[in-house]
Amino acid sequence: MSNQIYARVRQNANYGILVKKRGRLAFILSALVLVSYYGFMMVVAFAPSLLGRPLGEGMTLTIGAPIGAAIIIVSWLLTGVYSHFANGEFEELTENLIRETAE
Amino acid sequence: MRRFLCVGAASLIVLAALSSFADPTFAANDLGAAEKQAINPTAIIMFLIFVMGTLGITYWAANRTKSAADFYTAGGGITGFQNGLAIAGDYMSAATLLGLSSLVFSTGFDGFIYIISFFVGWPIILFLVAERLRNLGRFTFADIASYRLDQAKVRTFAAIGSLTVVCFYLIVQMVGAGQLIKLLFGLDYAVAVVIVGVLMVVYVTFGGMIATTWVQIIKAVLLLGGGSVLGILALAYFGFNLDFMAAQAVASHKAGIKIMAPGSLLADPVSAVSLSLGLVFGTAGLPHIMMRFFTVPNAKEARKSVFVASGFIGFFFLVVAVLGLAAITIVGTDPRFFEGGKIGGKIIGGGNMPVMHLAKALGGDLFLGFLSAVAFATILAVVSGLALAGASAISHDIYARVIRKGKATEKEEMRVSKIASLALGVLAVVLGILFEKQNVAFLVGLTFGIAASANFPVLILSMYWKGLTTRGALYGGLTGLISAVVCVVLSKAVWVVVLENPAPIFPYEQPALFSMTLAFLVTIVVSKLDRSASALRERDAFDDQNVRSQTGIGASGAVAH
């Protein structure tokens, strides 16, 4: 029984749209997080002094501190972006799809 | 019966606490790694309140734990927000509070890099695996790995992978618990380990996932609250000026301005990348973390829970960084916190203690007592999650699916899971006592390395790659498991420090770069070469599996109570 539902879902054009759109968003956001994190790690490994520059005239904090904090905060905000679209627009697409393909 | 056991466990703990009170000679015959301190009554009272409260919850949860689904996943009835807090409670272990803050205390910016690395896995979990975990799995990680592959073989492998991670992580937590409690509460190491083991077994066997979840939620709230208050006190000490705090830290630390930039800890790029791969992808392969995604009713709540969890975890990690930085000045220049009052010498209680000393310096004995109780609660919450994940691998995967081939009744399966959690409790206590004098730091790297090398490749490829076959998953997974263990055994942490050989054979500290890559490679090559009839069927089954993982059609729903 369920195999028939799965087959019907696969043939539905909206399934392709959902998978493509959500997949693209997940890919872009993952790439953003991984590229910025591994970019940071590469600077740590190969040019650590770049992160050791003072944040401003006469300051002790270095630019590494806000950059590191930004990696944590921005990647958390990106989980908010993903949840917003996946739980809004894409969830609606999914619900429509389930309605259309149910018996 | 249940009530008697809860009451029994509570009185056992009170007795243990009181017996240490009554025994004035305990300090003299103790030779453990951490120095035992005087009894801290605030800590013990606060901890007893926590234990009583959580045992009450366990009693309440026990009445609601009727089916296997209740036991393993709280019937899927946990909301996204609750689960987010529970995930945070599962992930923010005592090791993160104590270990990461002390890393910042001793190395400055390098510690901050570790903190970031421990965090980055979370967004990746949301984007790549969270909703698929929820849609495909029911009780365990093996449900997903074996979805379209050979049930007996892949389930057995996935259960072994889970149990290996659980056992190593349990050792880390038990040894940490014993030393921490000995230090903070003035209890004997063995007594502390037994208390943790007994409570863990009581929570898990009687309250199952419902009790475990609430223990984790309460602990997360306590830890976030305690950490934030300490963070505010620390900031207030420096007039809410972070740069002033940094300037004072530079003036107090023997490395001076060097603590504000990346230093020697991650100087070797290979080790740095290897470490980060293990932390980022190992997080997604931890069985007790994966299990949390089965406790919510649907993919929507699963996503919400990661958003909530990563918010709390990220906030807490930033607080931990501030605490470590503040401790450099406040703890690092106060002779009270050094052995013999010699500033710059050995920290009283060992290298993990700066944040506890910071609590005492800023909030006095009362606050220290509170934070000690929170640290104890933290360990309990983490070991309970681990024990439940391990017990479900034994009862659901190995017993019900592999040995009984799905013919076991729910009652039989639950009975086995309770016996399994009891057995895991005993094992954890025995291992905790055996490893008392060992340096277990390498086990954290090993745990994440195995999770990233054995569990993660099979998990991600089973969800994303049509070509994966049973043979590929088994060969690749085992390659990852074995190579991760071998790399760690041959590395400095075990080969030189534990086995006392002159030089390490594997030159890097962390295995993941090599073992995870190897696991992916072997899985893909063996799967590609697999021309068996079953491999054809397994590839064909991917499209249907993908519909379920994308839409949740056919996924197990929440059980109404």
Residue B409 pLDDT > 70: yes
* Mean pLDDT (whole number) for B116-122: 94
User: b vs e for B128-163, b when ≥16 Cβ sit within 10 Å of the residue's Cβ?
Assistant: bbbbbbbbbbbbbbbbbbbbbbbbeebbbbbbbbbb
Judge whether B118 and B271 are in contact, CB under 8 Å: no
Residue B187 pLDDT > 80: yes
Q: How far is CA B256 from CA A60, B253, B329, in A?
A: 11, 5, 12
The whole-angstrom distance between B447's CA and the closest CA on chain A is: 22
Q: Which residues touch B8 (CB under 8 Å, ≥6 apart)?
A: none
Residues of B in contact with A2 (CB under 8 A): 544, 553-554
A72, B317: Cβ pair inside 8 Å? yes
**pLDDT recorded at residue B270:** 87
* Mean pLDDT (whole number) for B135-142: 91
Residue A34 pLDDT > 50: yes
Residue B35 pLDDT > 90: no
Q: With 0-12 CB in 10 A as exposed, 13-18 as middle and 19+ as buried, what is A103? A: exposed
Residue B550 pLDDT > 70: yes
What would the pLDDT profile of B340-374 be if each residue is shown by its tens digit?
888 888 888 788 889 999 999 999 988 998 998 88
Q: Considering the entire predicted model, what is its pTM?
A: 0.91
A64, B260: Cβ pair inside 8 Å? yes
What would the pLDDT profile of B376-391 be if each residue is shown by its tens digit?
888 899 999 999 999 9
Average pLDDT, chain B: 88
What is the number of domains present in chain B? 1
* Mean pLDDT (whole number) for B264-276: 81
Average pLDDT, chain A: 91
Percent of chain B past pLDDT 70, that is, above it, reads 91
Judge whether B387 and B170 are in contact, CB under 8 Å: yes
Q: With 0-12 CB in 10 A as exposed, 13-18 as middle and 19+ as buried, what is B340? A: exposed
What would the pLDDT profile of B238-250 be if each residue is shown by its tens digit?
999 999 999 999 9
What would the pLDDT profile of B339-349 be if each residue is shown by its tens digit?
888 888 888 87
User: b vs e for B171-205, b when ≥16 Cβ sit within 10 Å of the residue's Cβ?
Assistant: bbbbbbbbbbbbbbbbbbbebbbbbbbbbbbbbbb
Phi, psi of B333 (to 5 degrees): -115, 15
- Within a domain: B52: no
Residue B12 pLDDT > 60: no
**pLDDT recorded at residue A2:** 59
**pLDDT recorded at residue B8:** 53
CA distance B44 to B52: 12
Residue B23 pLDDT > 50: no
* Mean pLDDT (whole number) for B123-136: 94
Of B34 and B281, the structure prediction assigns the larger pLDDT to B281
Residues in chain A: 103
Q: Which of A27, A29, A83, A103 to mutate to test the interface with B (most CBs of B within 10 A)?
A: A83
**pLDDT recorded at residue B330:** 96
**pLDDT recorded at residue B560:** 43
- Domain extent at residue B314: 2-8+60-169+209-384+446-551
Q: How far is CA B365 from CA B33, B43, B48, B244, B351, in A?
A: 23, 9, 17, 27, 20
Residues in chain B: 561
CA distance B369 to B387: 27
The whole-angstrom distance between A70's CA and the closest CA on chain B is: 10
In Å, the largest CA–CA distance within chain B is 72
Residue B519 pLDDT > 50: yes
B123, A30: Cβ pair inside 8 Å? yes
Residue A36 pLDDT > 90: yes
**pLDDT recorded at residue B13:** 54
CA distance B519 to B479: 6
What DSSP line would sit under B290-312, residue for residue?
HHHGGGSSSHHHHHHHHHHHHHH
- Within a domain: B36: no
What would the pLDDT profile of B149-182 be if each residue is shown by its tens digit?
999 999 999 999 999 999 999 998 898 888 888 8
Residues of B in contact with A60 (CB under 8 A): 243, 246-247, 250, 257, 260
Alpha-carbon Rg for chain B, nearest whole angstrom, is 23
Judge whether B471 and B527 are in contact, CB under 8 Å: yes
Residues of B in contact with A62 (CB under 8 A): 109, 260-261
At A33, is the pLDDT very low, low, confident or very high (cuts 50, 70, 90)? very high
Chain B contacts in chain A segment 26-85 (CB below 8 A): 26-27, 29-30, 33-34, 37-38, 40-42, 44-46, 48-49, 51-52, 55, 59-62, 64-65, 68-69, 71-73, 75-76, 78-80, 82-83
Structure tokens at B538: 């397994």
**pLDDT recorded at residue B473:** 96
Q: With 0-12 CB in 10 A as exposed, 13-18 as middle and 19+ as buried, what is B268? A: middle
What DSSP line would sit under B324-355, residue for residue?
HHHHHHHTTT-GGGBGGG-TTSPBTT-TT-HH
Residue B222 pLDDT > 90: yes
Residue B5 pLDDT > 60: no
B273, A41: Cβ pair inside 8 Å? yes
Alpha-carbon Rg for chain A, nearest whole angstrom, is 21
Structure tokens at B148: 């379209």
Residues of B in contact with A83 (CB under 8 A): 126, 303-304, 306-307
Judge whether B90 and B169 are in contact, CB under 8 Å: no
Phi, psi of B347 (to 5 degrees): -75, 135
Where do the domains of chain A lie? 3-102
User: B30: closest CA among B497, B440, B439, B437?
Assistant: B437
* Mean pLDDT (whole number) for B184-207: 90
Q: How far is CA B75 from CA B61, B220, B385, B396, B400, in A?
A: 12, 22, 16, 15, 18
What would the pLDDT profile of B70-106 be if each residue is shown by its tens digit?
999 999 999 999 999 999 999 998 778 888 999 999 9
The whole-angstrom distance between A6's CA and the closest CA on chain B is: 6
Helix H or strand E encompassing A2: helix A2-11
**pLDDT recorded at residue B376:** 86
What DSSP line would sit under B318-332, residue for residue?
HHHHHHHHHHHHHTT
What would the pLDDT profile of B230-240 be if each residue is shown by its tens digit?
999 999 999 99
Judge whether B480 and B526 are in contact, CB under 8 Å: no
User: Where on the phi/psi map is residue B182: left (φ > 0), alpha (ψ -120 to 50), or beta?
Assistant: alpha
User: B313: closest CA among A75, A64, A87?
Assistant: A75
Residue B333 pLDDT > 80: yes
By mean pLDDT, which of B334-338, B550-554, B557-561 is the weakest? B557-561
Size of interface A-B (CB pairs under 8 A): 161
Which of A7, A33, A45 lies at the smallest CB-CB distance from B124? A33
For residue B74, count other CB atoms closer than 10 A to its CB.
30
Helix B354-392 with B189-237: angle, nearest 10 deg: 130
**pLDDT recorded at residue B95:** 76
- Within a domain: B393: no
CA distance B415 to B437: 35
Residues of B in contact with A82 (CB under 8 A): 123, 126-127, 303
Residues of A in contact with B269 (CB under 8 A): 42, 45-46
At B29, is the pLDDT very low, low, confident or very high (cuts 50, 70, 90)? very low
